[in-house]
Structure 1
Amino acid sequence: MKTYETMKAVRFQHCDPAGVVFTPQYFNLFMEVVEDWFSHLGHSFSKIVIKEHQGIPAMRIVARFLKPSFLGDRLQFSLNVKRLREKNILVSITAFCNGECRCTAEFLFGFATLSSLSLVEWPEALREGMSEYLQGR
């Protein structure tokens, strides 16, 4: 099983006036991680959304915020696939700073056409790439 990892800097735009990450901004960071992972798999969001008119709507999100993060922190994000089905995927994302877990999230994403907003099967090449990150594989 592979783990996708990427580093994100906590910027001023992520913080409240006290320099603490404003909780909703974590969701922007989580989505950046997912978007980066898709690009790493060779399926950029610009290709999927603009050229292929498809998307990955969030169907369920469960997040836990364990410790605050601050302006200037560098967060190490890791992403794993917990479940991969024909038309959806459950991913787990964890953020660490200096070895300390700051937050976790699970996202259930579907794969949909933008014209009808109905779920469709993952393209085979993308599904194969995602399966390499499947836990317990």
Structure 2
Amino acid sequence: MTRFSIRRQVEFNHCDPAGLVFYPRYYEMISALVERFFAEGLGHDWCEMGDAGLCTPMGKIETRFTAPSRLGDWLTLSLAVSRLGRASVGFDLMCETAGGPRFTGSATSICADMKAGRAQPWPGPIRAAFTPWLPIPGDASSPAAAPDMQKAAFR
């Protein structure tokens, strides 16, 4: 399974008064991860897609937090494409530090027509760009076979 990753350092603006990442900030980081994936992984940035009248709103997102992140931590956020539908894409999400996992999750982004406000099929060039990222049937490293990180200790 091919994963796309970005690194981010936890900044003061990400944290609550205790110096821990305030959980909504993780969703902003996930959005940045998906945006970078479209731009760098697929070669179709959101500016270009917006100019063509397309957007990729999040249709569903689930996370399982396993340990806190603190001010100054370096996070590696990654995604793998778990499925490609007619007008949607599923992602397997992961966030970890050198100290271990911070969260796992899944998300579904929708290909949508900005003016109509509804889903539309992926345009051919974007659909084709997903090909090297698609899971390989029977691959033991597919998102479904990823290790269960729900038992990670709260540190």
TM-score tier after normalising by the smaller chain length: over 0.9
Alpha-carbon deviation of 1:135? 2.1
**Equivalent residue, structure 1, for 2:46:** 45
* Equivalent residues in 2 for 1:1-137, closer than 5 Å: 1-40=1-40, 41-49=42-50, 51-98=51-98, 100-137=100-137
**Which runs of 4 or more aligned residues in structure 1 lie more than 6 Å from their structure 2 counterparts after TM superposition?**
none
State the SS of the aligned residue for 2:118.
coil
Alpha-carbon deviation of 1:107? 0.8
Letter in 1 for 2:69: S
State the SS of the aligned residue for 2:125.
helix
State the SS of the aligned residue for 2:75.
strand
TM-score by length of 2: 0.83
Distance verdict in 2 for CA 1:99–1:130, change over 3 Å: farther
Distance verdict in 2 for CA 1:70–1:44, change over 3 Å: same
State the SS of the aligned residue for 2:127.
helix
Q: Are 1:59 and 1:110, in contact at CA under 8 Å, matched by a contact in 2? A: yes
State the SS of the aligned residue for 2:122.
coil
Letter in 2 for 1:39: A
TM-score by length of 1: 0.93
Q: Are 1:65 and 1:104, in contact at CA under 8 Å, matched by a contact in 2? A: yes
- Write out per-residue CA displacement over residues 2-31 of structure 1, whole angstroms, 9 at most, x where no aligned residue: 211111111111111121000011000000
Alpha-carbon deviation of 1:42? 1.2
CA distance in 2, matches of 1:75, 1:114: 32
CA distance in 1, matches of 2:129, 2:44: 10
Alpha-carbon deviation of 1:97? 0.2
CA distance in 1, matches of 2:26, 2:2: 23
State the SS of the aligned residue for 1:132.
helix
Alpha-carbon deviation of 1:99? 5.3
Q: What percentage of aligned pairs have identical amino acids?
A: 31
